[in-house]
Structure 1
Amino acid sequence: MKIYKDFVSYNQAIGLSKPLDNDIDVGYYDPPKIVINTDPVKVDFYRISIKIKYKRKSTPNTAPVSAVFFNTPDLIIEPGWDAEPTYTGMYLQLSKKIINENRFLFKTYLDYGRHEALHLTDDEAEEVAAVFKLMIKYYENDKNHFGVLLSYVNVLVSLVEAFYKRQFSTNPKQYNRVVTDFQQSLIDYYNEPVKQLPNVQYFADRLGVTANYLGDIIKHFTQKSALENIHDFIIKRAKELLVENQKLNTTEIAYELGFEYPNYFSKFFKKQVNLTPKEFRLQAISKN
């Protein structure tokens, strides 16, 4: 499989303009000049691709769509663009170096490429195009405006965040399945003997999604992060064990829940409940 290490080789291979910088590349698509690749490829950098009124050749009877697509270094780009050469669009390419140095700008959406594109309304597409026009302006000027260019990149990412929230809300049934599967996987985890505390990555792997994608959906629909949901479930389970199985001492309950160190369980419980496990048990027994 061909892996493109830099913007120069990738742009030349598929018919994009020569980049002006090794860490950030901004440009417009010229569809008739795009080379149709016959084999899957990877790029060793990050891409945000915006296509307006994009229509697949394989589905000629469907309406054109406007969407934002994401590629990360570990994502395979399938053969061919499969696009009618009638769309317009823009692309933003970012090196690993610039991502690492400005991680606070980019949040979590860059790994969404393996899950779903961001579909844009006409008004949203106009907003994105307006920001992109400003990005191009400062990209084509000298590097004294590099900070301004990064600021507009941040604006673009912020728009992506807002539009994804709109997309999540537009079709809740699609995403509710993810929430339900996450919650069921959490129940299943504690229905078996456990050796360690679960983390978000574990459930993301079980559901076949990235941790960022899972976390964003869970946060949107529950108003709590995936980790907070896990902690809430552990506390619920701990309370049940403290009240319903009084033969178990605090240390045994800690191990039952997957804590490696019982002292950590006590501190965790106190932080969440404002009572130590022993205090909670005594209070619950006295109420009964």
Structure 2
Amino acid sequence: MKLFKDFKDYNDYLGVAKPLDNDIDIGYYEPANMRLKSESVMVDFYRISFKINFKDKTKPDAKPITAVFFNSPEMVGGWDIEPTFSGMYLQLSKKIIEENRFLFKNYLDYGLHEALFLTESELKEVSTLFGLMIKYYNSEKQNFGVLLSYVNVLISLVEAFYKRQFSSDPKQYNRVVTDFQQNLKNYYNEPVSQTPNVQFFAEKVGLTPNYFGDIIKHFTQKSAIENIHEFVIAKAKELLEKRTDLNNTEIAYELGFEYPNYFAKFFKKQVNLTPKEYRLQTISKN
């Protein structure tokens, strides 16, 4: 497998124009000049590809699609495609991502899961925006701030389009939510060494934490961590009410808290009572 650490080497391999900058690269696809088949490769930067009338030859029954595709560092991929598509691409270095983290959100790892399918009106918006980006990209560093602003607009559009896609095919995403809820219920079926976290449940359904979190929030109106905290509190209340043989420290360990005092602070923040106060209140009610 070949690793590409910069835009120039990858562009040469792919058959697209040489980059004008080491941190941002923007261009249009010309399939007649491009490598249409490749073994697995990996890039050490981020790529967003907007492909029109794209058909993957590895899927014989697949119909041409218009969609957004992503590549991220450590993501391995090869291709075998028909030379019928057109489109645009944006490449971003890890350096520029880190220096402008406030501009770049969850979309960066969406490509590990699925393409974003574009409607005609969405494609028109993206195409118009790319025309403006190319204009300022070709003027090089003197308009770098303007170019970054347009990149931010593009990212915001992509995020909005994904939310539209979540809503347009809820059955596909409801499985993620129901699996999450079932995995929550199962979490304490075995002894645990830590409290539940978003990454654990995302990996359970084969998704990255950001993408997983966006789906959960879209369908439950609460973030994944809020759902997890509610679950832990419910379990803590159950133990405090029913397991009178366990003291607060033992309950903290039972729930996966490394430090009992952190459990006490967490519980107080969520319930507005300490675990001891909650247990005493429950006893007095009974």
Q: What SS class does the counterpart of residue 236 from structure 1 fall into?
A: helix
Range with bigger deviation, 59-68 or 183-192: 59-68
Q: Which residue of the other structure, out of 205, 208, 213, is the alignment partner of 1:210?
A: 208
Kindly provide the amino acid, as one letter, of the partner of residue 34 in structure 1: M
Range with bigger deviation, 41-50 or 277-286: 277-286
Give the C-alpha shift of residue 32 in structure 1: 1.2
Instruction: Tell me, in whole angstroms, the C-alpha distance in 2 between the residues paired with 1:87 and 1:115.
Output: 22
- Count of residues in Structure 1 that have an aligned counterpart in Structure 2: 286
Kindly provide the amino acid, as one letter, of the partner of residue 150 in structure 1: L
**Matches for 1:89-108 after TM superposition, within 5 Å:** 89-108=87-106
Alignment TM-score, normalising by the size of structure 2: 0.96
Percent of paired sites with the same residue: 69
Q: Gapped runs of 5+ residues in structure 2? A: none
Kindly provide the amino acid, as one letter, of the partner of residue 175 in structure 2: R
Give the C-alpha shift of residue 58 in structure 1: 5.0
**Matches for 1:126-275 after TM superposition, within 5 Å:** 126-275=124-273
Instruction: Tell me, in whole angstroms, the C-alpha distance in 2 between the residues paired with 1:190 and 1:181.
Output: 15
1:65 touches 1:119 (CA, 8 Å); kept in 2? Answer: yes
Matching residue of 1:88: 86
Instruction: Tell me, in whole angstroms, the C-alpha distance in 2 between the residues paired with 1:206 and 1:247.
Output: 33
Q: Gapped runs of 5+ residues in structure 1? A: none
Instruction: Tell me, in whole angstroms, the C-alpha distance in 2 between the residues paired with 1:109 and 1:227.
Output: 19
Kindly provide the amino acid, as one letter, of the partner of residue 17 in structure 2: S
Instruction: Tell me, in whole angstroms, the C-alpha distance in 1 between the residues paired with 2:38 and 2:62.
Output: 24
Q: What SS class does the counterpart of residue 40 from structure 1 fall into?
A: strand
The Cα offsets for residues 100-137 of structure 1, whole Å up to 9 and x where unpaired, read as 11111110111111200100001011111111111101
Instruction: Tell me, in whole angstroms, the C-alpha distance in 1 between the residues paired with 2:192 and 2:60.
Output: 51
Kindly provide the amino acid, as one letter, of the partner of residue 188 in structure 1: N
> Aligned Cα RMSD in Å?
1.5
Query: Does residue 120 of structure 1 match 2:125?
Result: no
Instruction: Tell me, in whole angstroms, the C-alpha distance in 1 between the residues paired with 2:38 and 2:85.
Output: 21
1:14 touches 1:37 (CA, 8 Å); kept in 2? Answer: no
Runs (4 or more) in structure 1 with deviation over 6 Å come to: none
Kindly provide the amino acid, as one letter, of the partner of residue 242 in structure 1: L
1:269 touches 1:275 (CA, 8 Å); kept in 2? Answer: yes
Q: What SS class does the counterpart of residue 77 from structure 1 fall into?
A: strand
Matching residue of 2:72: 72
Range with bigger deviation, 208-217 or 119-128: 208-217
Matching residue of 1:33: 33
